[in-house]
A and B are shown apart, each in its own frame.
Chain A
Amino acid sequence: MPGPMKMRATLGQGFTDVRVLMTHPMETGQRKDSEGKLVPMHFIQNLTVKVNGKPVIEAQTSQAISRNPVFSFRLKGGTKGDKIEVSWVDNEGESNRTEVALA
């Protein structure tokens, strides 16, 4: 079960500011645990940002993105009530998503 995800979307000057925080270990596969064993790779590979169901940003990410990733995006315009969704999928097939309505 992936950890919590949090998103904030605010209307700026002609664009919508989106900030999203994700819980994810983003393991590189090079870190050793307390017993000296290598922790296997486990990281987010794809991100999708949708506005009212339509994908507007598609991203591919590597294990070099920091643990517990935080991303900021900007969407064109924006109307109150717009549904903004961010979802991710990792290399183990796990996924999570969160959605906010623009206030």
Chain B
Amino acid sequence: MNSIRRALVAVFVLGLVRPLAALAAWNKEAFSAKSAGDALKNLGIANAQPSKDLTVEIPEIAENGAVVPIEISSTIPGTTALIVVIDKNPFPLITRFDFKEGALPFVKLNAKVGETSDVRVLAEAAGKYYVTTREVKVTIGGCGG
């Protein structure tokens, strides 16, 4: 009994059991970068090659920049991550998705696009990077109602 209690105390003291928030990593530096170039550099992404196998579906015109749908699918063999960068956003890095065994390199999400901008989607596959770029024109619609 005593040894079990001692082991548990040790576990907590050593900080081996941490709250969920601390366990999940969030790349603060990359997400705080104010330019797309800095964000990519921070993620260690260089020499990204354009690829037709990295498909990005995104409307050319967004009726409102608050919700811009982006659908990404990679058929590049060995894709393990997808990254989205919106060049003109105040903080260009939007997201990084890491795919493990059991998931397909596919994601559809909604992003805020501050103004008409290039949207760059990158894929990481077998240590190399690939990129597909699309432009989204952001408008403000309606009567504002």
A87 CA / B24 CA spacing, docked (Å): 11
Task: Find the A residue at minimum CB distance from B103.
Answer: A56
Q: Are A62 and B103 in contact (CB under 8 A)?
A: no
What's the interface size class on B, roughly? Answer: 35 or more
One of A55, A72, A95 near B100 (C-beta < 8 A)? A55
SS class, residues of chain A in contact with chain B = strand
> What would be 10 A-B contacts, judged by CB atoms less than 8 Å apart?
A56-B101, A60-B26, A64-B86, A64-B111, A66-B66, A74-B103, A76-B101, A89-B21, A93-B21, A95-B21
B interface residues, Cβ below 8 angstroms from A: 19-21, 24-27, 31, 66-68, 71, 86, 89-91, 93-104, 106-112
Q: A45-B24, A69-B109, A72-B71 are in contact. List 17 more A-B contacts (CB 8 A).
A: A48-B24, A54-B102, A56-B102, A58-B24, A59-B96, A59-B98, A59-B107, A62-B91, A64-B111, A65-B94, A67-B66, A72-B106, A72-B107, A76-B101, A89-B20, A89-B24, A95-B20
